Amino acid sequence: MSKRLVVYVISDSIGETAEQVIKAAISQFDCSNCEIRRFPYISEEEQIKEIFQEAIHEKNCMIIFTMVIPSLRKMLTETAKKHQIHVVDIMSPILESLQDILKEEPKNEPGLIRKLDEKYFKKVEAIEFAVKYDDGKDPRGLKKADIVLIGVSRTSKTPLSMYLAHKNIKVANVPLVPEVPVPEELFEISPKKIIGLTTNPIKLNEIRQERLKALGLRNEANYASMERILEELDYAEGLMKKIGCPIIDVSTKAVEESANIILEIMKQNGNWKL
C-alpha cells in the first residue's frame, strides 16, 4: 500500500498548469493514495498562511506553485522550508531563463494569460460575427455591430469586414442595389457607426469584368456595364448622403489602408479604442 500524499497546488491564476504538471509527475509512481488540493487566485500573504495552517498537519505533503509576484514566491518558499515541507516553484526557473535571454524584466502581473485568452476569443467572436452578418444576410446584426459597411458590389466590404474582425471589431455589411430596399435598421443606428464605400466607375468596371471571367460569364452582362455601374454608384452616393455617414473612396487603396482609415474614424467618434 502506497503512502498517503497530499499535494497543495497554489496559484495566482487558475492553477491548472501546476495541477497538470503534478499529475504528470505522479503518474510515474505507484501512488494510488494521492490527493491534490488546488488553491486558485491566491494574491495575499494571509491566504498563504491559511493554507500552511492546514498543510502542517499533514504527515506527507508537498506544495507546488505557480506565482509571478516575487514577494509571494519568496514567502511560500521560506515558509515551506521553515515547516520542512517539500516545495516546488514552477515559474521561477522559467522566468529567470526568459529574463536572461530577453534581457528584460518580467511584468510580474498575475492573470495575463487569461487576458490573452479573452482577446483571442473576442477575435474569434468578431470573425464569426462578420461571417454571420456578411452581405446583408441578417439585418438584425446591424444594431449589434461596432461598425456597418455599405456600398455597391465589389467595393471590398467583405475583405474589410474580415480584416477589422481580426482586430476584435464586430462588422456587418450591406450591399447597395437600386432595386433592393435597404433594411430599416440602417436608419435606426447612429450614422457614426456607418461607413460608406465608393470607388471609381472605371476601376469598378475592370473589377466586375474580371469577376465575370472568373465565373465563366459573358462580359456583356448588365452587372459590368458602365451604365449600370454609374446607376449603382449614383444611388449609393445619394443614400450615403441621406444617412450622413463618412464615405471612403477605395479605388486605389489596399484593404489595410482602407481599414486604417475606418479605424481612425472610429477612434475619432469614440467607437473604438486601442
Residue list for the binding site for ADP: 151-158
Q: What dihedral do alpha carbons 108, 109, 114, 118 form, nearest 10°?
A: -120
Smallest CA-to-CA distance from 82 within 104, 55, 100 is with 55
Q: What angle do CA 198, 199, 202 make, to 5 degrees?
A: 150
Q: Crossing angle for the helix pair 255-268 and 157-165, nearest 10 degrees?
A: 60
Q: Residues forming the annotated binding site?
A: 151-158
Category of 136 on φ-ψ map: left (φ > 0), alpha (ψ -120 to 50) or beta = left
Measured CA distances, 228 to 175, 223, 225, 243 (Å): 15, 7, 5, 23
Is 103 in a helix, a strand, or coil?
coil
Smallest CA-to-CA distance from 68 within 103, 111, 36 is with 111
Is residue 5 within 8 Å of 28, Cβ to Cβ? no
User: Which amino acid belongs to residue 102?
Assistant: L
C-alpha to C-alpha distance for 117 and 203, rounded to whole angstroms: 42
Spacing of C-alpha 75 from chain mean position: 36
Integer Rg of the chain from CA: 29
